[in-house]
Amino acid sequence: MLTLVLSAIWLMLPAYIPNNVAVLVGGGLPIDMGRHFIDGRRILGDGKTFRGFFGGLAGGIAVGALEYIVEVSTGISLFSSLSYYHAIRVIVLLVFGSLAGDMAGSFIKRRIGRERGSPVPLLDQLDFVGGAFAFGFAFGSPYMGSLFTKEIVVTVLVITPILHILVNYIAYKIGRKNVPW
Ligand code: CTP
Ligand code: MG
């Protein structure tokens, strides 16, 4: 059980890291460049910035590559059960997918009239997971499936909302977020 939870967190780090890096380095020009959708609301809002996106991209890929190296030098076999090439491919898909899922979540939030930073339970906690899984399974099979078994997928869906709430509370406490969600 503990092994399952730790494996799930380890495998999901490339999807978890981008959003946390984005919180730390985000700011500046928003990805929607301030533009509005046909409903008159912002397309994505000021919470999705280029700095956050590219910082998250770099951070996520760096952490994934580091995980592979740590695995090889400690004998753990998760990402390193794949060749370096296939592992990096899965990692890049998890990183892009999580950032895309996070943006899709913001897009949906704006469409239903929720302002930037307003909480939408489950959407806030699982949009990036949905994106990471969608990208991974759509463009990374069969390698994605060999890492993310049914047990791992279910575990991720259960632990992510809990981890997300915890981490956001920390981000709020250290002043990186205006609201604790
Ligand atoms: N962030 C960023 N660029 C991104 C993603 C996140 O700059 N691509 C930064 C922003 O400073 C954002 C913070 O990380 O405010 C927290 O991200 P998130 O909770 O996803 O954004 P919210 O501000 O809550 O906005 P939304 O309602 O759109 O989710
Ligand atoms: Mg939010």
Concatenated DSSP letters of 104-119: HHHHHHHHTTPPTT--
Ligand 1 binding site (Cβ under 6 Å of any ligand atom): 22-23, 26, 45, 47-49, 52-53, 102, 106, 109, 116-118, 177
Q: What average pLDDT is seen over the chain?
A: 95
Give the separation between CA 109 and CA 58, rounded to whole angstroms. Answer: 26
Judge whether residue 68 has pLDDT over 90: yes
Tell me the pLDDT band of 51, cut-offs 50, 70 and 90: very high
**Distance of alpha carbon 18 from alpha carbon 10, whole angstroms:** 14
List the helix and strand counts (H, then E) for the chain: 6, 0
Q: What residue's CA is closest to ligand 1, atom 28?
A: 106
Q: How far is the CA of 100 from the centre of ligand 1 (A)?
A: 12
CA of 48 to the centre of ligand 1 (A): 5
Q: How many of the other CB atoms lie within 10 Å of CB of 100?
A: 18
Amino acid occupying residue 41: R
How far does residue 17's CA lie from ligand 2's centre (Å)?
A: 15
* Minimum-distance ligand 1 atom for the alpha carbon of 103: 8
- Mean pLDDT along residues 153-166: 94
Task: Name the burial class of residue 135, with classes exposed (0-12), middle (13-18) and buried (19+) by CB atoms within 10 angstroms of its CB.
Answer: buried
**From CA 108, how far away is CA 56, in angstroms rounded?**
21
Average pLDDT for 156-172: 91
Nearest-ligand number for the alpha carbon of 23: 1
What count of other Cβ atoms lies within 10 Å of the Cβ of residue 69?
Answer: 12
For the cut 90, the answer to whether the pLDDT of residue 72 exceeds it is: yes
- pLDDT bin (cut points 50, 70, 90) of residue 62 is very high
Question: Span 105-122, mean pLDDT?
Answer: 95
For the chain, the structural domain boundaries read 2-173
Q: Which atom of ligand 1 is nearest to the CA of 117?
A: 24
Q: Give the contacts of 138 (CB within 8 A, at least 6 positions apart).
A: none
The pLDDT value given to residue 57: 98
Pick the residue whose CA is nearest to atom 5 on ligand 1: 48
pLDDT(101) > 80 = yes
Q: Which ligand is nearest to the CA of 19?
A: 1
CA–centroid distance, residue 129 to ligand 1 (Å) = 15
Q: Taken in order 42, 94, 19, 53, is the CA torsion positive or negative?
A: negative
